[in-house]
Amino acid sequence: MQGLSRWSAGWFAVGVVASIGWAHAQEEAIKLGVSEPLSGPASSLGIPVVESIKTAAEFINANGGVNGRKIELLIRDDQSRADVAVQNFRRLAEEGVYGVIGPNQGSNALAVAPVLLETKVPMCGFQNTISITKLDNPYIFRCQTSDTDNTRAALKFASEKLGAKNVAVLYTGDAYGTEAYAALEAEAKEMNIPIVAAEKINYGASDTTAEWTKVLSAQPEAIILWGSGSTMSVALRNGSQLGNTAPIIGAQGVAAAAIIKSAGAAAEGVYMVTLNAPDQVTPEQQELSRIYKERHGEDYALTIYDIIGWDAVHIYAEAIRQSGGDKAKVVEGMEKTQGLKLAGGSYTYTAESHEGLGSDSVWIVQVKDGATVGVQRGF
Amino acid sequence: MTSAEILQLLITGLTVGSIYALVGLGFNLIFNATDVINFAQGEFVVLGGILTAIAVGTAGLPLWLAVIVAIVLVGALGALIDFAAISRVRRGSVMTLAMITLGLAVIVKTSLLLWVGPDPLYFDPFTPGPPIRIFGAVLQLQAIWVIGIGVLVMVALKFFFSHSRVGREMLACAIDREAAQLMGINVGATVRLSFILSGALGGLAGVLITPLTNATYDQGFTLALKGFAACALGGFGRASSAIVGGFALGLIEAASVAVLPSGLKDSVALSVLILALMIRPSGLLGGREERRHTQAM
């Protein structure tokens, strides 16, 4: 009798294990690839983005996952290099990911574009650079604001809020700056705002006084500064040393904490076109803000990087829900995203437009006492 | 353009030129002792700026002490480079040695990235206060420091090479190493000294220019390129030529912005360099090659 019950208990256990295994096989995790710079020059952007991607995946998994399935992240370092990014995208496709988040740098996004066509795996890119969604590549989705909207916002703000009747533009010679300048030129023509001076600054230049002298000689009523990197803080300082009094509107690349800090007093009062105002937490940012405050202290203010990583995972989660968990239909699912409200704003993708965020998500912020403060949202 | 704007471009040219000149002076020191172009010179400059920014910002040292610490440390790095790498292959060709310095530049750059990260570092100018206004043009106070100390260092180096025993020994080492050795000059020690001085000079340049340019881990190459161009334009081997070449390059850049789109600045400056060297291969002032031939004759 005792022997029998031991036997039946044994069989019961086998049955339980088998059924758990069966259930587990049915609910196999959804693999999402991440290819971001965790080392190299762009690592200061990649590291916080990956933290926010992990946070989002944990949050979704703790709240029931996607159709009951957990998200599994496959995180790869692209070392800020295009060739490594290409390798990562190939490997991740072979490992069966539903989609990839990254890369971070515009040049790397252009490098991986052909791989996407081959492997048919979509990517969620964090670039403002206008051209990435104009490559006729159905697998590239922008998970950031586009400089088409950002440049328009800058011009509208200059003319409508600052009352500027003309503007001057200082921009860097890389794709980020030159594409934005082309957009500004077209938009200014349409809005009938003359661009009285435009000067190109070499990326990484250590002095911009000559460019400023030329720009200021045209006596512009507002100055638009489009670029990224250390040169931007030099440019802000040079402008104030030359006694510029016209208001400055900087790009998202200027709105980086390190640049504002090293520009010091010269950054005070400068306006910037960016994705969030740290002092104003939207309802969609509250969950994320709560998690980050628990982790980094009560004074923590969300950055762009915290927001875009979080949003990218949620966009994929929603697309996979839409496609019924079918890997082959993720792109279709993405293109069904309609007004999905996340931390960065409202995302919409269609077969025609992979832009995601619209001009309603663009923030104008102003530097006050070394911190950015929200001035206006949406255009 | 108004006269104030032209004056502004002139001042900008002189300020930027003095930066190139300071970097160029460091190139000259090692070249004078070894005939080698030290490709890590730009990294010396960046390191000087970064060390000072950290000493002032994080460690809270007074500026004068931070400056001394930075210069001494970069000088020590110069000694270390010679001790650990250059002196081990002293029989190698000039090209081998130059390649070694290129490799060392990459090591310094990558280490800086790992240590301080990619964000720019900065500290306040030596003299606080608004820039000086001259007929509507603006002269930054830090630029006066850069130009002033640059000229002082040049005069000191000129005296060092022409009047001091060690300086003349250094020149002798480059002209003919074996003959110098036979004449009783300690070649190893002389070369080591040139690396220390060059490191210290690079560190000093970094300290002076960081309030104008920021210090970023990857700035070294661009700085070295311009410093090298300044030396080549002036003529390698003379302290004064780095200064003349540096100012000339800075003024050419500023002038090109006045008449051409500013994005072409670097291309114009380097095209002028190529042209100048085609007409006068040994530089504006004539380099040491020329002097060596006249001495030989």
Separation in Å, CA of A213 to nearest CA in chain B: 6
- Residue B117 sits at the chain A interface (C-beta within 8 Å): yes
User: For chain A, which residues make up each domain, given as ranges?
Assistant: 30-145+283-348, 148-274+363-377
Q: Structure tokens of A37?
A: 């710079």
d(CA B266, CA A73) in angstroms, rounded, equals 45
Closest-CA residue of chain A to B120: A230
Pick the CATH number of A148-274+363-377 from 1.10.1740.10, 3.30.70.260, 1.10.10.10, 3.40.50.2300: 3.40.50.2300
Separation in Å, CA of B265 to nearest CA in chain A: 8
The answer to whether A41 contacts B209, with C-beta atoms less than 8 Å apart, is: no
| Residue B196: predicted pLDDT | 95
- Residue B57 sits at the chain A interface (C-beta within 8 Å): no
Separation in Å, CA of B103 to nearest CA in chain A: 17
Please write the tens of the pLDDT for every residue from B109-155. 999 998 998 889 999 999 988 889 888 888 989 999 999 998 899 88
The answer to whether A217 contacts B113, with C-beta atoms less than 8 Å apart, is: no
Cβ pair A197, A169 in contact under 8 A: yes
What are the residue ranges of helices labelled H in chain A? 2-26, 43-62, 82-94, 106-119, 147-156, 175-191, 209-217, 231-241, 257-263, 286-296, 304-322, 330-334
**Considering only CA atoms, which of A247, A246, A237 is closest in space to residue B130?**
A237
CATH number at residue B178: 1.10.3470
Tell me which range, A8-17, B23-32, B74-83, is most confidently predicted by mean pLDDT.
Answer: B74-83
The arithmetic mean of pLDDT across residues A28-45, rounded, is 90
DSSP state letters, A52-117 = HHHHHHHHHHHTTTBTTBPEEEEEEE-TT-HHHHHHHHHHHHHTT-S-EE---SHHHHHHHHHHHH
**Structure-model confidence comparison of residues A93 and A262, the more confident one:** A93
Q: Give the domain extent around B124.
A: 3-296
Q: Which of A173, A230, A242 is the closest to B138 by Cβ? A: A242
The answer to whether A230 contacts B131, with C-beta atoms less than 8 Å apart, is: no
The arithmetic mean of pLDDT across residues A220-244, rounded, is 93
**Structure-model confidence comparison of residues A223 and B273, the more confident one:** A223
Q: Which residues lie below 8 Å from residue A363, measured CB to CB, with a gap of 6+? A: A273, A274, A275, A276, A277, A374, A375, A376, A377
H or E stretch covering B146: helix B141-163
Please write the tens of the pLDDT for every residue from A186-206. 999 999 999 999 999 988 888
Cβ pair B262, A212 in contact under 8 A: no
Separation in Å, CA of B5 to nearest CA in chain A: 6
Chain B contact set for A233 (CB, 8 A): 120, 122, 214
Q: Which of A199, A213, A234 is the closest to B214 by Cβ? A: A234
Strand A345-347 relative to strand A340-342, pairing: antiparallel
Instruction: Assess whether pLDDT exceeds 50 at residue A245.
Output: yes
CA A226 to chain centre: 17
Q: Which residues lie below 8 Å from residue B117, measured CB to CB, with a gap of 6+? A: A43, A44, B217
Global pTM reads 0.85
Give the pLDDT band (50/70/90) at residue B33. confident
Cβ pair A368, A258 in contact under 8 A: no
| Residue A16: predicted pLDDT | 54
Q: Which residues lie below 8 Å from residue A13, measured CB to CB, with a gap of 6+? A: none
Chain A contact set for B210 (CB, 8 A): none
Separation in Å, CA of B245 to nearest CA in chain A: 18
Q: How many CA atoms lie within 13 A of B232 on its CB side?
A: 19
Closest-CA residue of chain A to B216: A230
Place domain A30-145+283-348 in its CATH homologous superfamily: Response regulator (3.40.50.2300)
A30-145+283-348 and A148-274+363-377: same fold? yes
- Residue A211 sits at the chain B interface (C-beta within 8 Å): yes
Q: Which of B216, B258, B261 is the closest to A230 by Cβ? A: B216
- Residue A265 sits at the chain B interface (C-beta within 8 Å): no
Q: What is the complex's ipTM, to 2 decimals?
A: 0.83
Give the pLDDT band (50/70/90) at residue A95. very high
If 0-12 CB within 10 Å is exposed, 13-18 middle and 19+ buried, where does residue A298 land? exposed
Separation in Å, CA of B81 to nearest CA in chain A: 24
Residue B272: count other Cβ atoms within 10 Å of its Cβ.
18
Q: Which residues lie below 8 Å from residue B224, measured CB to CB, with a gap of 6+? A: B23, B27, B39, B41, B42, B43, B45, B105
**Considering only CA atoms, which of A334, A302, A285, A309 is closest in space to residue A101?**
A309
The answer to whether A209 contacts B8, with C-beta atoms less than 8 Å apart, is: yes
Cβ pair B91, B109 in contact under 8 A: no
The answer to whether B216 contacts A217, with C-beta atoms less than 8 Å apart, is: no
Q: In chain B, how many domains are there? A: 1
First to last CA, chain B: 51
Q: Which of A202, A230, A243 is the closest to B265 by Cβ? A: A202
| Residue B90: predicted pLDDT | 67
